[in-house]
């Protein structure tokens, strides 16, 4: 379940569903948008606008390629195939259709140097950059949109993002619109609630009860031996130390076997979620061992040397 939740959250982010888009044509302040990256939970923030100069490839001389100016903070959200932060980037679909190679694109007016390409799949996200070119620009000036990559998601960030819009609602401009880059996967991904509601959340508590029961009854089964030992002068404290050491041996062996089996299963099924899955397994094993040791101590405390004869008859 944990691995499924981690995979679902990765799919949600990969589709851009966690990216907030504030749209107000010609009224988004680029610097304000870029400064949102300093807020908690915000990984990246960048602005976008239609470029003043549209690109016209030689392969389509009468048709302009949709071209946009973007600030450097928006590039990481598109995951380009290069580490360059400035230059012209083509969407993967446009690069295939235009036959552009990795370094240049032939234009009607000359040649454009390409810094790289970016994937923008048709998975429900806004189609604005599906077949387009982008060019990095300075953060100064006004833009049409502000993109904010937020994870974990925060309603507070969504309200703050609207502050990037400058100017009023006069002249029929209307208020800005705020939404997701990809709304096809739901309005939000409440991973914390889903994680708390998983079936495995009961495992540590169950292991504590099971371990305590095993430890208690393992000691109670030896109550005649323990009571007889006290009659000849063995102190309960010494019995507690001895039984804790004995219990630690079989608990360590059983926990090691369980962790090896769990690690093998997690390596196959959890994949990228392997470290969190193992952390949970180690924690569960630890609390189970603690429960068993406490149960063993309770078992020692329940033994009464004065009932040795009764224990003998019960046997």
pLDDT for position 186: 83
Rounded to two decimals, the pTM is 0.70
User: Which alpha helices (DSSP H) does the chain contain, by range?
Assistant: 2-14, 30-35, 75-78, 92-98, 155-161, 191-196, 203-220, 223-231, 236-269, 274-301, 308-314
Q: How far apart are CA 166 and CA 168, in angstroms?
A: 7
pLDDT for position 194: 64
- The 3-state secondary structure of 73-141 reads HHHHHHCECCCCCCCEEEEHHHHHHHCCCCCEEEECCEEEEEEEEECCCCCCECHHHCCCEEEECCCCC
Closest CA to 244 of 294, 303, 173: 294
pLDDT digits 0-9 by tens, 222-272: 888 888 888 888 888 888 888 888 888 888 888 788 777 767 766 655 555
pLDDT for position 253: 84
Q: Report domain extents, the chain.
A: 2-193, 199-314
Residue 194 class from Cβ within 10 Å (0-12 exposed, 13-18 middle, 19+ buried)? middle
Q: Which residues of the chain have pLDDT under 50?
A: none
């Amino acid at each position: 379940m944990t691995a499924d939740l981690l995979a679902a959250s990765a799919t949600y982010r990969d589709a851009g569903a966690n990216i907030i888009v504030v749209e107000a044509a010609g009224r988004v302040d680029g610097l304000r948008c870029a400064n949102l990256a300093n807020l908690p939970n915000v990984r990246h923030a960048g602005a976008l606008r239609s470029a003043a100069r549209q690109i016209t490839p030689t392969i389509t001389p009468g048709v302009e390629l949709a071209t946009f100016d973007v600030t450097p903070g928006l590039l990481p959200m598109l995951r380009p195939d290069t580490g360059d932060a400035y230059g012209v980037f083509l969407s993967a679909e446009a690069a295939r259709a235009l036959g552009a190679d990795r370094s240049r694109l032939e234009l009607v007016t000359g040649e454009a140097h390409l810094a790289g390409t970016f994937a923008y799949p048709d998975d429900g996200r806004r189609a604005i950059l599906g077949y387009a070119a982008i060019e990095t620009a300075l953060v100064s000036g006004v833009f049409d949109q502000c993109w904010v990559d937020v994870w974990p998601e925060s309603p507070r960030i969504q309200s703050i993002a609207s502050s990037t819009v400058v100017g009023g609602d006069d002249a029929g401009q209307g208020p800005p619109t705020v939404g997701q880059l990809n709304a096809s996967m739901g309005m939000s991904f409440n991973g914390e609630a889903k994680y708390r509601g998983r079936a495995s959340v009961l495992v540590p508590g169950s292991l504590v009860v099971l371990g305590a029961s095993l430890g208690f009854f393992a000691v109670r089964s030896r109550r005649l031996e323990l009571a007889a030992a006290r009659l000849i002068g063995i102190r309960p404290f010494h019995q507690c130390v001895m039984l804790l050491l004995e219990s630690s041996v079989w608990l360590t062996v059983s926990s090691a076997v369980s962790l090896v089996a769990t690690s093998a299963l997690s390596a196959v099924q959890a994949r990228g979620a392997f470290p969190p899955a193992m952390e949970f397994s180690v924690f569960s094993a630890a609390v189970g061992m603690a429960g068993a040791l406490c149960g063993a101590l309770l078992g020692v405390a329940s033994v009464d040397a004065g009932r040795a004869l009764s224990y003998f008859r019960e046997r």
